[in-house]
Chains A and B, each alone.
Chain A
Amino acid sequence: MTMTATLSDTAPANVSPILSVREVGKKFGGFTALDGVTVDFAPGRLTSIIGPNGAGKSTFFNVLSGAFPPSTGNVLFEGRDITGLPQHAFARMGIAKSFQITNLFPHLSVLENVRVAAQATRTGLDLWRPRARLTELVDRAEALLVLVGLAHRRHQPAENLAHGEQRCLEIAVALACEPRLLLLDEPTAGMSPEEARQMMDLIVRLNAERSVILVEHRMKLVMGISDRILVLHQGRLLADGTPGDIKADPEVRRVYLGQSV
């Protein structure tokens, strides 16, 4: 119980949050997708955001990752207000994201997918030097492929990979900008249970070196690995706590009616 209390203490006074969300709301026409959400994310943690369909998870993810700005409220990264900054600025600051629907450079090789992503934040505009000689970038890309287990596929075009492999490549591409905060949108979408389990193992390993925020539809998957779970429901924060707290929460049980928590 004491253990749980320490873990759920997500923003201790002595550690400033890596990401702060202040009263964030998002409206699409007359529809309120997000309604005044305020959360602090402590660095180094693995936080999962769950919720039933239509809870506002994807909207929340898109606001956090800079795909679109919130209608109201602010997002602060390491104390800096990043609300409304263009998408490309997020990667340059150290926030990377993976997409829910696989989003790669299909005709480029697996290695080149990661290399060109690494190049974005590590080299300036260079129209002259041969890119194969920028060995630091190639090495970085190779190392990331080893990390996600795709080194043996490096020369294949990305489109030739199996679905599960593409999801792993998606993660490697996201990691290429050396993010301090990694945002993952349903990384296990469409995966077999075995693949999903491997992906969760990978996410835990990635979390050792950076903060991770994970949006997931399937609650069971994140229970075992998360430091903290946020439950969204109808655009509002319904619950916030350790997996233990969330399991015990009667409101969450009501929202996820019929599913074993």
Chain B
Amino acid sequence: MTDHAHTVPATAMQNHERIGAFIDWATRWRVLLAILFLAVFPWFAPYTALAVNILIFGLFAMGFNLIYGYAGMLSFGHAAVFGLGAYGCGIPIAKFGVPWFLALPLGVAVAGIAAAIIGWLATRTRGIYFAMVTLALSQVVYYIVFQSVPLTGGEDGLRGVSVPEIRIGPMQVNLLDPMTKYYAILVVVAAALWIFSRILNSPFGAVIEALRENEMRATACGYDVTRMRWLVFVLSGMFSGLAGALYAIHLSIVPIETLHYFTSANVLMMTLLGGMGTFFGPFLGAFCYLLLQDVISVVTTHWQLVVGALFVFLILFFPRGIWGSIIHWLRP
């Protein structure tokens, strides 16, 4: 009797410890695990173009997750930084013949500058006002790009961002081959994952969490909260802009829809679906969202109806998202 009563909790304890150790291990190697998964992923994906989309939108959702999941600020204008990243990379290639390896950081820089301006105005507000200011400013960006037809192609989108081949050292990489394109983009995404993880682990990563937890306390500790919020916004904008720049290279055109507020809503849904404030969540969210869209739109043109219903179900019953719920159940 005593023995029995003693062994059961001991085993339960061991299991808890084992799960805890596993989570710690997965957290330590999260960048490598994510890269490994993404490296084998296209072999399971229905087709490679979808895999590329998941890769790019996963990166976008990861950047968005920094501001929303980690810092707790709901931006509803991230289409602006994603789209400007795409145009910032696409215009130099299409109009000025700039090589891709210069255009890519240019896209990130344009997105970063845009995020600095939008963020400077928006981070003075909080909650719903922050969401509204970011939405309004992203609409401003949309209409400016929409009207600047000579540079951006306006409604038709920017055409001619063709990078059929890229040269990396002695290697010629043919981007017309979908599989090659996937792995070329994965190299950039892997670097972004590594930098992102370092930021989360850095002292500044701790500040980001402190902002989400309690701004008043953070201020009393000596943090200039407005400046910190602005900085997170810029960082988030640069990751999102990188995703946009890769999207331009992926599609060879930049559709004006990249700047549309639907794009802001999509990335929010992906992040919520996967699990806000988790490392793997955004990629999982992008995967589920785009796969569902792909599968359901074969059956019916009203795929948004099904996705919408599923979304409501998830928010009501699994507000932590898919990955967030898994982590929550596992954690001792």
Contacts and interface: CB of A to CB of B under 8 A. Distances in A.
B203 interface: yes
27 contacts: A65-B220, A88-B219, A88-B220, A89-B222, A91-B222, A92-B222, A96-B220, A97-B220, A99-B216, A106-B213, A108-B210, A116-B207, A117-B221, A119-B206, A119-B207, A121-B222, A125-B204, A125-B231, A126-B202, A127-B198, A127-B199, A127-B202, A127-B235, A131-B201, A132-B201, A134-B203, A173-B221
Nearest to A123: B203
**In terms of DSSP, what is the predominant structure of the interface of chain B?**
helix
Given A116-B206, A120-B221, 5 more contacts: A92-B222, A105-B209, A127-B205, A173-B221, A177-B222
Interface string B153-183: 0000000000000000000000000000000
Contacts of B95: none
Nearest to B225: A88
Contact of B213 (A90, A108, A132): A108
Interface string A99-112: 10001111110001
B216 to A, nearest CB: 6
Nearest to A133: B201
- Which 9 residue pairs across A and B have the least CB separation, nearest first? A91-B222, A105-B213, A120-B222, A117-B221, A120-B221, A126-B203, A127-B204, A116-B206, A87-B219
A176 interface: yes
Contacts of A106: 213-214
Interface in A29-82: 65
Interface residues of B, number: 25
Nearest to B205: A131
A250 interface: no
A129 interface: yes
A87 B225 CA distance: 10
Contacts of A108: 209-210, 213
B201 A130 contact: yes
Interface residues of A, number: 38
A190 interface: no
A121 B231 CA distance: 18
A12 interface: no
Contacts of A130: 198, 201-202
Q: Which of A103, A106, A119 gathers the greatest number of chain B CB atoms within 10 Å?
A: A119
Interface in B2-42: none
Given A103-B216, A105-B214, A106-B213, A116 B221 contact: yes
Contacts of A117: 221
A103 B199 CA distance: 26
B214 A119 contact: no
Nearest to A179: B222
Nearest to A137: B203
A167 interface: no
Contacts of A173: 217, 221
A159 to B, nearest CB: 10
A91 B221 contact: yes
Interface in B106-141: none
B257 interface: no
Contacts of A176: 221
Given A115-B206, A129-B202, A107 B213 contact: yes
A128 interface: yes
A84 interface: no
A104 B209 CA distance: 12
Interface string A130-149: 11101000000000000000
Contacts of A103: 214, 216-217, 220
A89 B223 CA distance: 8
Contacts of A134: 203
Contacts of B214: 103-106
A86 interface: yes
Interface string B187-207: 000000000001101111111
